[in-house]
Structure 1
Amino acid sequence: MKLSELLAGHDHEILRGDPETAITAGICFDAHRVAPGSLFIAVPGHREGGPGAAGPALARGAVAVLVDAGAPDLPASVWTDTDVCVVRVRDTRTTAAVVASRYYGEPGRGMDMVAVTGTNGKTSVSYMVESVLRIAERATVGVIGTAGSRIGDELIPMPRSVLTTPESPDLQYLLGYMRDRDVGTVVLEATSMGLLTHRVDHSYIDIGIFTNLTQDHLDDHGTMENYRDAKLRLFQGLCRRAVVNVDDPVGAGIGALMPGAVTTYALDAEADYRATDLTMDAFGTRFTLHHEGRKYPAAIPVPGRFSVANALATVAACHLLGHDLRGLVGALDRMPPVPGRFERFETPRGTSVIVDYAHSPDSLDKVLSTIRGFARGRIITVFGCGGDRDITKRARMGEIAGTHSDLCVLTSDNPRDEDPGAILDQITPGITATGTPFERLADRRRAIGFALSAAEPEDIVLIAGKGSEPYQIVGEKLLPFSDMATVRELSGRGTGG
């Protein structure tokens, strides 16, 4: 496709070269991913790109470069290469979403698009949407999120990345890939930073789901108000309809942003989809779903009020897309476990182990409160906090773990560039205040081993923070590490237990 076609109707200025240049090899932010015929977008501050990487991008065969106000700082080779077209735009990220969507044929228009945002529940709701549609209607569903991108059980190969919401060129590529394989519905996790940096723009979202807003990511946003506003971008022109949790005060306010286009769900407040009569045990939750004056008996194979809320969001969104409500509700109790979300395992000694992604104060509190509701023995909690992230939540998480647990094991999560010991130092005051005994073992494998060895048959070991992540981020490295695989190995059951 010609560069002029990609930019048609979008403010831009040709600094040099021919705008009729054909883009034949995709769109890149990362210089090392450029191939001959690519469009390189020089996003300021991008780790693998930016204006300073324009030279390497040209050396690898880029035929055009998009820049914004940083254009005068481009390497000299950009101005001396007679074949390259250089275009200045107001903002490279917003332009990237436009041109990437056009390059791949605006693939979001050809599928039912569901985007899930909120502090907690994004991954669980994504898996639930996929599961109920597969079970109820044998639908082909694409999923884009924390665990990567896939169609059913087919993982889509992509460059290694820790971004839950891919950059716009990658996202549009994935949507095009899914459309070309006859995917009917795509569900994607829309993170606050993904929304703030325009990665989801021009994806033609049919339904935006809002789960909740609690403290997290203040390292990125500075204040809860900024964090909230980033989430709310989804409901300010990026989706046609919304499904929102009105038990959450932020969710309750979304109706004012999208008058007449909001469907509500709740456990406590009045809502279009509501749950009552919750009964819970270690293996799941039963409840009654209310909609338009009718009652539907329902069950999910996960304990907890938060899981019921996620189920309501799932059913509401899928019903809005035109799927039969009774079939959707019937599919709920046949859903497979969501990897790393209240994922259960029993050791040969009879100890229950739960692996969960809980990595914020609210999510850790909810998971531990749920476990306390059915635990017959002690609760042993293994957890840490991520490095280079909001430090204000660390002592609070220590307090929550100590309040709900009988023994805690403090360990590394993803330390990134921080000293693991310093992170544990910041967690310690919170747990010390509760009087709960604890151990400090920065090595996560040793910490899990200690917890398993300390547990008696009726105890429950919660391993929180990383869920199904297959790596641990130490410095700039992604080191292979899986909480559940480690549990299986240390319990003597390998991967097949």
Structure 2
Amino acid sequence: MEITIKDILLNIEQNTLQSFESLKINTGTVCQKITSMYQDIEQDTVFILKDSANADYYAQCAYQMNPLLIITDVTPAIFSHHETSTPIIYINDFPEVANNLVKLFYTPAIDNMKFIAVTGTNGKTTTTHMIANLLTKLGEKVAIIGTMGVYDCNYNKLSFNHTTQTTPMYFEMAEIINYFYKKEYNYIVYEATSIALDQRRTDFIHNDLAVFTNFSPEHLDYHGNIEDYLSAKLRLADLSSLNLINFDTAEYHSIMEDHRHFSEYQDIYYQYKVSHNEINFVVDESQFVVTPNFKGHHNYINLATSIFALHKLNYDMKQLTEAAIMIDPPLHRFQIIEINNYMIILDFAHTSSAIEASINNALNYSENIGRDLNAMVTGIGLRGFDKIKRTVSNLPKGINKLMLAAEQVGFVEPETIISVMIQNLPSSYKTYDVLKSSSRKEGISGLLYATDKEKEIILLTGINEPQNYKGKKYGHDDQDYINKLLSYLH
């Protein structure tokens, strides 16, 4: 179906701040594409620009790409100093306009796909991937969208332009959905962050199921307070036909719509108990046991959540438990690797509660194999000092050698991050015994050199991705770096 400028103007008419008669544009012109990324402007493209600190710069870049039309919620006075022949429409509700335009351009794809959204403070990525992998084992054609990127049904990572990590912006998300619709996929499983929900980025999607994993303080630098953070999470319930909640999280009780929810501690419809090597399930008094082919208490919790999610969508429990023993967790989610006889656990944990859980899991694992645990914990400059303080102050006892390092520092000096970490260490850790490094790479190399590979194992927490430092991004992968580092020694 061809969409004209007239169709677009009629679609957004109730949210515009000016008369269309003043526009010097042929309303019969066919629009081939709509985007919020100036880099994606092509011939006959409409550009929709959200107000931000960089809006002026993005507008200048867009002018050079010659879009048909710019739609924006930026104050008109900001653009008054620009000379451009591109018509500009000013609007009063960016999310409303963006969602309506997504529906105008992508309704067939949106209406013909099934969606599962996963939210929560921790576990979104792992749960999303496990749900998708289980569905794949059951014969469905599934795509994944989240922190690790976009994956097809063969678990190949695809290249899509992303301006926002984890949950893409309105039109980016819609284009990904449209891509998989044309490939005749059944499901998209995606991570729904609190920030994306607050910005109404996925309001155009009606989910078959929303999964609520857990809840603890996070992203307060954006939301301002815990109440607004929770409110953003709970928005997902209104966008979904069914909700599956972690009953052990009291904050989610308000969105219970039926009795089919899960708990590790209470007698409800879905129950689970995690031991060192297996998960015991009780589903409406029927019992099942799964022995996964991976480790990690929190991985087991996420697998249990994934199984319950699909059972709530009427998949057979026996088939789900059979599929569960064949799947792997996503990369770097309590991934145990051995390199040159070093045993190393890679875990992407980067929130206070996730790091605490990861260390406790690693302590249990190291005890079971008769070794001591050395761990690296990082302070992340991009997330603010409150998060750094909370992360360090909640460190469990028992780490044999603790490495504190700075990563993703942005424009914060690494020494400042390390200083804040030292000041907030629990009393169980003596400052003079703690190892310190100004970067993730230095922290890894320092911990390797300090480790007795016969008696100790290593846990690396934090964001194992390219590092942001003073406006530049530097490539990095823990496993590749460790391989290179140890190859120099042999």
Say yes or no: TM over 0.5: yes
1:12 maps to which residue?
15
1:238 maps to which residue?
239
| Change in 2 beyond 3 A, CA 1:7/1:386 | farther
| Contact 1:396 1:427 survives alignment (8 Å) | no
- Pairing partner for 1:35 from 38, 42, 48: 42
Map of 1:200-219 to 2, 5 A cutoff?
200-219=202-221
- Pairing partner for 2:69 from 56, 64, 69: 64
1:464 maps to which residue?
461
| Change in 2 beyond 3 A, CA 1:22/1:298 | farther
| Contact 2:402 2:435 survives alignment (8 Å) | yes
Q: 2: CA distance between counterparts of 1:390 and 1:252?
A: 30
1:272 maps to which residue?
269
Q: Does 1:368 align with 2:373?
A: no
1:324 maps to which residue?
316
Q: Does 1:335 align with 2:297?
A: no
How many angstroms does 1:161 deviate by? Answer: 4.3
How many angstroms does 1:348 deviate by? Answer: 2.3
| Change in 2 beyond 3 A, CA 1:207/1:7 | farther
Greater mean deviation of Cα atoms: 85-94 or 183-192: 85-94
2:472 maps to which residue?
477
2:52 maps to which residue?
45
Give the TM-score normalised by the residue count of structure 2: 0.90
| Contact 1:165 1:188 survives alignment (8 Å) | yes
1:492 maps to which residue?
487
2:337 maps to which residue?
345
How many angstroms does 1:23 deviate by? Answer: 5.2
Q: 2: CA distance between counterparts of 1:404 and 1:106?
A: 55
* 1:31 maps to amino acid: Y
How many angstroms does 1:55 deviate by? Answer: 4.7
1:170 maps to which residue?
172
How many angstroms does 1:484 deviate by? Answer: 2.0
| Change in 2 beyond 3 A, CA 1:432/1:286 | closer
Q: Does 1:87 align with 2:89?
A: yes
Count of residue pairs the alignment pairs up? 475
State the Cα RMSD in Å: 2.4
* 2:249 maps to amino acid: D
| Change in 2 beyond 3 A, CA 1:77/1:124 | same
* 2:37 maps to amino acid: D
Q: 1: CA distance between counterparts of 2:471 and 2:96?
A: 28
Greater mean deviation of Cα atoms: 59-68 or 201-210: 59-68
Q: Does 1:424 align with 2:418?
A: yes
How many angstroms does 1:147 deviate by? Answer: 1.0
Greater mean deviation of Cα atoms: 448-457 or 152-161: 152-161
How many angstroms does 1:288 deviate by? Answer: 1.6
What 5-or-longer segments of structure 2 have no aligned partner? none
| Contact 1:300 1:332 survives alignment (8 Å) | yes
1:146 maps to which residue?
147
| Change in 2 beyond 3 A, CA 1:52/1:409 | closer
Identity of aligned residues (%): 20
1:442 maps to which residue?
438
1:454 maps to which residue?
450
| Contact 1:141 1:184 survives alignment (8 Å) | yes
| Change in 2 beyond 3 A, CA 1:274/1:28 | same
How many angstroms does 1:132 deviate by? Answer: 1.0
Q: Does 1:186 align with 2:188?
A: yes
How many angstroms does 1:402 deviate by? Answer: 6.1
* 2:68 maps to amino acid: V
How many angstroms does 1:493 deviate by? Answer: 10
* 1:316 maps to amino acid: F
| Contact 1:111 1:185 survives alignment (8 Å) | yes
Determine helix, strand or coil for the equivalent of 1:274: strand
| Contact 1:19 1:85 survives alignment (8 Å) | no
Q: Does 1:403 align with 2:406?
A: no
Q: 1: CA distance between counterparts of 2:128 and 2:449?
A: 35
Q: 2: CA distance between counterparts of 1:34 and 1:393?
A: 37
Give the TM-score normalised by the residue count of structure 1: 0.89
Q: 2: CA distance between counterparts of 1:9 and 1:110?
A: 22
Q: 2: CA distance between counterparts of 1:198 and 1:482?
A: 32
* 2:412 maps to amino acid: E
How many angstroms does 1:106 deviate by? Answer: 4.5
* 1:193 maps to amino acid: I
Determine helix, strand or coil for the equivalent of 2:185: coil
| Change in 2 beyond 3 A, CA 1:478/1:160 | farther
Determine helix, strand or coil for the equivalent of 2:445: helix
Determine helix, strand or coil for the equivalent of 1:300: coil
How many angstroms does 1:370 deviate by? Answer: 1.4
| Contact 2:298 2:361 survives alignment (8 Å) | no
Determine helix, strand or coil for the equivalent of 2:350: coil
* 1:367 maps to amino acid: S
